[in-house]
Homo-oligomer: A and B are copies of this chain.
Amino acid sequence: MPARFFDAATLERETPRLANPSDLVFRETGCHGVAEGAALAAVGAEGHLALAKRRSARATCAIGLSPRIVDPSVVGRSRGKLAILGLGPGADDSRTPEVDAALREATDWVGYRLYLDLLQPLASGKVQHPFDLGAEEARVSHALDLAAAGRDVALVSSGDAGIYAMATLVFELIERGGHADWARVEILGLPGVSAMQVAAARVGAPLGHDFCAISLSDLLTPWPVIERRLRAAADGDFVVALYNPVSQRRRSQFAAARDILRTARPAETPVVLGRNLGRSGESLRITTLAQLDPADVDMLTVVLIGASATRAVSRPDGGHWVYTPRGYASKTEGAV
């Protein structure tokens, strides 16, 4: 049996027919009875209350009786659902089938305009809500509003929605409060492959041992916090994946990050620059920490900086594989 929901104003219109109207309930919810009101709203004017409300520790129920069969699809609305989806790098064959299924099931798609454009082959019948770059709070608020109104909403991010993308803002906005209906939305998160993983798979296995991910964007994070993380990454000898290495107004952070890591690991440490990975115009470059130049990166680049153990191995085609060994055993045992 599908669960259906009513807003407080609809329930309040049933007040004259309630068996147990309550001012306390009204002050908390905006209607004088939730269970009885919902039962009456579901059966409509021709129906009546068959069982007045009963309470248990965790729920209250009431039963309405209708002279006709009730069609649940036109009674009230569904709970509303928000699927937070990671599209992976961008190509159709790098999205998981569970993400595709959630896209097909959704009534509404919310996301950055260019990501929705990538999905047009699946878009038939969808209400699309494209947003411009940067309007993240408006985007997520709109998605929550739609879901709270009973829509089945897909909020899309490229890569993994949980890594430097939209997912965390959903929970941040819910916690800020002021929208009790947002907290009641059913939320489903489905992961996707993030840019650092694509860069790593293309080039070998640079993330083959302990690594960290650091965003160089100081839009929401003060530079001293970012700098502290970079120093810790250097101290810990982590492989470092840098997201948002530069922006149009911001380039100095990248040079500072490079300089911090240069103090702690060899000049010839391999560095991987992946740009537009998984989309047309993809490029991948291998360089070294010594030769790394901020001019080599842009907003669409993910940067992987090796740990001290990370190695570049010649390929017969003249290129290199980059990998970080699983441990330190091969160093002490030599070439076995």
Contact B96 A93 (CB under 8 A): yes
Q: Is A9 an interface residue (CB 8 A)?
A: no
Contact across chains for A191 and B183 when beta carbons are under 8 A apart: no
B162 touches A207 (CB 8 A): yes
How many interface residues does A have (CB within 8 Å)?
83
A93, A172, A220, A225 interface centre (most CB from chain B within 10 Å): A172
CB < 8 Å neighbour of A328 from B86, B93, B202, B221: B221
Q: Which of B171, B176, B231, B329 contacts A205 (CB 8 A)?
A: B171
Q: Does A283 contact B (CB under 8 A)?
A: no
A92-129: contact bitstring with B at CB < 8 Å (1 yes, 0 no)? 11111110010000000000000000000000000000
**A213, B172: Cα distance in complex, Å:** 24
What is the CB-to-nearest-CB distance from A317 to chain B, in angstroms, rounded to a whole number? 10
Residues on B with beta carbons closer than 8 Å to the beta carbon of A16: none
A197 touches B191 (CB 8 A): yes
Looking at A20-28, A32-40, A318-326, the stretch in contact with chain B turns out to be: A318-326
Taking Cβ atoms with an 8 Å cutoff, the residues of A that contact B are: 84, 86, 88, 91-98, 101, 160-164, 167-172, 174-178, 183-184, 187, 189-194, 197-198, 200-202, 204-215, 219-222, 225, 228-229, 231-233, 235-238, 311, 313, 315-316, 321, 323-330, 335-336
